[in-house]
Structure 1
Amino acid sequence: MQICSVCSEQIPKYRCPACKIRYCSVSCYKKHKDECVPVKQTASPEPDLPVTRNSDGSWTVDDLLDEDDQSDRVPLHRLKQLGESEELKALLCNPHLRQLLLTVDQAESKADIMKATMQEPLFVEFADQCLKIVEPTKDEDSCPMDESL
């Protein structure tokens, strides 16, 4: 478990976009920013993912993930498939599902809210549909075999 690089007391929630240290709060960021020494960006292990901040100043995947999170990274082509899924688009038309997603996004305790939200059949259906795209079974991910062989 990591701890805040500034106060060494809390679990960090954020990462400095310039030097990549982890910090837990706005007050720790304010303390840190005066001493911040930016590091040069290195090449990403996956070339199709960004390594620097976008021109609009938004954060990139590498700003949000550290080495421990790399195994959980979803390939870019799978993320694109999520955005193109008609099944997901249809589910997202449901205002109740959109409200559930907002509640999860805005919750302080993600683990607690996820326990409650996973009791909602609509959310489970949404999560299952996402997983079908992100982690397809071997049957779904491979090409059909030629029956004549």
Structure 2
Amino acid sequence: MQLCKVCSEQTPKYKCPACEIRYCSLPCYKRHKDLCLPVEKLPPNAAKDAVCTVADTWSIEDLLHKEDIADVVPLENLQLLGQSKELKDLLCNPHLRELLRAIDSANNKEEAMKAAMQEPLFVEFSDQCLKVVEKEDP
């Protein structure tokens, strides 16, 4: 059974025309519309040929600035993020990628993160990231 992507409680009855997530009610739509990021439509035959890939173009140094970090995660644990099949699978979702882009480009990243944490998909992504980096070595 599918659940509403906004509240994760009810069966969805509607689909957002812009990003195609499924939601159950007007209140859920109103919560969602502030974070909605339209998904680009692929031509019908392009979907067959599309393969989700995660670019390996960033280094850890590109992503982190020491003055911005309150908690430091060991480099070895951060490198595990790139090896996680679960994270790569989640990143195949265009809605999640758009949420991440919106946070990255936001002027107020703290507010953008608070808003994103209302999206079950983003919560699932952040939980998976934490699970990977907090893994204890045997």
TM-score with structure 1 setting the length: 0.47
Tell me which structure has the larger Cα radius of gyration.
1
How much does 1:121 deviate?
0.3
How much does 1:64 deviate?
2.1
Return structure 1 stretches of 4+ with deviation > 3 angstroms: 58-61
How much does 1:142 deviate?
5.0
- The amino acid that maps onto 2:66 is L
**SS in structure 1 at match of 2:82:** helix
Deviation per residue, 1:108-142 (Å, 9 max, x gap): 01111111100000000000000001123xxxx25
Between the aligned partners of 1:129 and 1:81, the Cα distance in structure 2 is 12
Aligned-pair Cα RMSD in Å? 2.4
- What residue is the counterpart of 1:14 in the other structure? none
**SS in structure 2 at match of 1:77:** helix
How much does 1:73 deviate?
1.9
Q: 1:91 to 1:117 in 2, by over 3 A?
A: same
How much does 1:88 deviate?
0.2
Q: Tell me, which stretches of 5 or more residues in structure 2 are unaligned? A: 1-58
**SS in structure 2 at match of 1:73:** coil
Between the aligned partners of 2:101 and 2:95, the Cα distance in structure 1 is 10
Between the aligned partners of 1:64 and 1:121, the Cα distance in structure 2 is 28
- What residue is the counterpart of 1:77 in the other structure? 76
Between the aligned partners of 2:66 and 2:109, the Cα distance in structure 1 is 17
Which protein, 1 or 2, shows the higher relative CO under an 8 Å CA cutoff with sep ≥ 6? 2
Between the aligned partners of 1:65 and 1:142, the Cα distance in structure 2 is 25
How much does 1:59 deviate?
9.3
Q: 1:74 to 1:106 in 2, by over 3 A?
A: same
Identity %: 57
